[in-house]
Amino acid sequence: MAKIHAAITAVNGYVPDYVLTNHELETMVDTNDEWITTRTGIKERRILKGEGLGTSDMAVPAVNGLLEKRGITADEIDLIIFCTSTPDRVFPATANILADKIGAKNAWGYDLQATCSGFLFGLATGSQFIESGKHKKVLVVGGDKMSSMIDYRDRATCIIFGDGCGAALLEPNTEGNGIIDSVLKSDGSGVPFLHQKAGGSMRPTTHETVDNREHYLYQEGQSVFKFAVTNMAEVAAEVMERNNLTSDDIAWLVPHQANKRIIDATAVRTGVSPDKVVINIERYGNTTNGTLPLCLWEWENKFKKGDNIILAAFGGGFTWGALYLKWAY
């Protein structure tokens, strides 16, 4: 019997309407368009405005559009893996909230927290349920409302992040297409360089933590940069080497969108030419769990059946990884 691979059979994305430009940021913190553009490659990012709206509110249009594209209904979904670092609530899981909002009555689900590598870990995890034969339709959602944890007085972080969400459907494939391999890593010694100081069980929210602005994302950018620039490139190269792929075999490199300089370094290390590297950071910034599915969504029409695609990511934690898939449609 032919091996079952988990193949992506539909992708979709959603970004909020509000565009926060570098020029608007110039009015908020001591920064300028030239610095942001040359140091990060970002020109603008989207922000989810509106009282009471959370990450699931971006997932609903992304997933509903996906279901329409695929021509299926929500009750056909078996499992929802919601990859996010900004869940609607600490509990219950945003996967449950989403399932209720879209009417996925037969799905179970859970949230996956692996910061910017979340969607990649979600694809790798979700593929196991397909390969085992246990499930037929696994929805992997990646999204974040980063504006909910960004300090718009901190110029080192507020210029990078944006809001957005995307989703991919995994289904069984016996033609040899789908997710072929992945290399997944994490290292908790990276915690000091990128974390949220308060709001968890270790340091619950109090008036004092809020006054100290400890509920915002904290990052030591240079340390994270050094780690990311080496490790994302290495892990992408590793998954290629162990599948005997050279840069000529790769149709597309889909990297996490954190900094254009990190993306460029990954392209150089893997030898993939710039015209095969998927980049939309200039329009969305770093949407954390949203970057990879938003890239897949925007490039979907350029992908061809059988294309060898490498996804690569890294994030706080630290977490990082690369995944090799053959596009299935």
295 counts as catalytic: no
CA dihedral 147, 152, 157, 158 (to 10 degrees): 60
Q: Is 224 in the site for ligand UT7 (CB under 6 A)?
A: yes
Preceding peptide of 318 cis, ω within 30°: yes
Q: Is 315 in the site for ligand UT7 (CB under 6 A)?
A: yes
**In whole angstroms, how close is the CB of 128 to ligand UT7 at the nearest point?**
25
Q: Is 35 in the site for ligand UT7 (CB under 6 A)?
A: yes
Pick the catalytic residue from 83, 256, 259, 289: 256
Computed on alpha carbons and rounded to an integer, the radius of gyration of the chain in Å comes to: 19
Give, to the nearest 10 degrees, the angle between helix 260-270 and helix 33-40: 20
Q: Is 156 in the site for ligand UT7 (CB under 6 A)?
A: yes
Binding segment for ligand UT7 (CB under 6 A), chosen from 47-55, 74-82, 153-161, 176-184, is: 153-161
Query: How far, in Å, CA of 294 to CA of 217, rounded?
Result: 22
Mark 36-55 with x for binding to ligand UT7 (rule: CB under 6 A) and - for no binding: ---xx---------------
In which element (H, E) is residue 8 found?
strand 5-14
256 counts as catalytic: yes
Q: Is 69 in the site for ligand UT7 (CB under 6 A)?
A: no
Binding segment for ligand UT7 (CB under 6 A), chosen from 15-23, 33-41, 55-63, 104-112, is: 33-41
Three-state DSSP at 259 gives coil
Q: Is 228 in the site for ligand UT7 (CB under 6 A)?
A: yes
Query: How far, in Å, CA of 175 to CA of 305, rounded?
Result: 11
DSSP label at residue 201: S
DSSP bridge pairs for 18: 47
Binding segment for ligand UT7 (CB under 6 A), chosen from 94-102, 133-141, 156-164, 203-211, is: 156-164
Per-residue burial over 87-106, b = 16 or more CB atoms within 10 Å of its CB, e = otherwise: bbeeeebbbbbbbeebebee
Provide the binding-site residues for ligand UT7, judged by CB under 6 A. Answer: 31, 35, 39-40, 116, 155-156, 159-160, 221-222, 224-225, 228, 258-259, 286, 315-316
Question: Mind telling me the catalytic residues?
Answer: 116, 256, 286
